[in-house]
Chains A and B, each alone.
Chain A
Amino acid sequence: GAGVSQSPSNKVTEKGKDVELRCDPISGHTALYWYRQSLGQGLEFLIYFQGNSAPDKSGLPSDRFSAERTGGSVSTLTIQRTQQEDSAVYLCASSRRGGGYTFGSGTRLTVV
């Protein structure tokens, strides 16, 4: 597609439930990133995929968070047993190698 697409745009979930957030990057972009922005915080790096290389998971805050990227394209960020502190806007971005980011509009996750 023309841009980075994220779904859903909003998600309200009960504490303890699992959620899946989806990202469709720009076609041809080999790099894909997940960030989150909590209230009053800057953008926090979560995970980075580059081509077929092993992902950089160093930003994932706990083992409840995982992400995969299938076929080098679509990525899914999964949060298990959600907690209230997981409430944030989750942003996906893609880029050509060495190029600038293009962000999606984000998924606003609210854990109640």
Chain B
Amino acid sequence: DQQVKQNSPSLSVQEGRISILNCDYTNSMFDYFLWYKKYPAEGPTFLISISSIKDKNEDGRFTVFLNKSAKHLSLHIVPSQPGDSAVYFCAASENAGNNRKLIWGLGTSLAVNP
């Protein structure tokens, strides 16, 4: 039973356009959400996070939106760059700041085409 779902296994966008990666969750107790990026043969690296008390967090080209009523979050990358091509994982936790036992989605592979 996937508590964190990334329904799109892959996404392809043109350089300079917006990339939107989606994530849905089922556990209403989740209150802290993170996005990680993973290049081949490397471990995941932290990208951006959001607490459930917010509905938006922005860091440069990356913005995460949280819709608690819909149990949905999305990562926006604008403008997309070829170096953004990677697998993006959404993760969630029940305790804000407690990063034990993060529950992970299966990932979305993003390809940004020059």
Binding site for B on A (CB under 8 A): 4, 31, 33, 40-45, 48, 56, 58-59, 91, 93, 95, 98-106
Contacts and interface: CB of A to CB of B under 8 A. Distances in A.
B95 to A, nearest CB: 10
Interface of B: 2, 4, 34, 36, 41-46, 49, 89, 91, 97-107
Given A48-B100, A98-B97, A41 B106 contact: yes
Contacts, number: 58
B2 A42 contact: yes
Contact of A106 (B43, B45, B99, B105): B43
B43 A104 contact: yes
Contacts of A95: 99
Nearest to B42: A105
A56 B36 CA distance: 23
A101 B107 CA distance: 17
Given A43-B104, A100-B49, A105 B41 contact: yes
A40 B106 contact: yes
Contacts of A48: 100-101
Contacts of A93: 43
A103 B45 contact: yes
Contacts of A4: 43
A101 B46 contact: yes
B50 to A, nearest CB: 13
Given A44-B104, A104-B43, 20 more contacts: A4-B43, A40-B106, A42-B89, A42-B103, A43-B91, A48-B100, A58-B101, A59-B101, A98-B97, A98-B98, A99-B99, A100-B49, A100-B99, A101-B36, A101-B46, A101-B102, A102-B45, A103-B43, A103-B44, A105-B42
A34 to B, nearest CB: 12
Nearest to A91: B43
A59 B103 CA distance: 12
A109 to B, nearest CB: 15
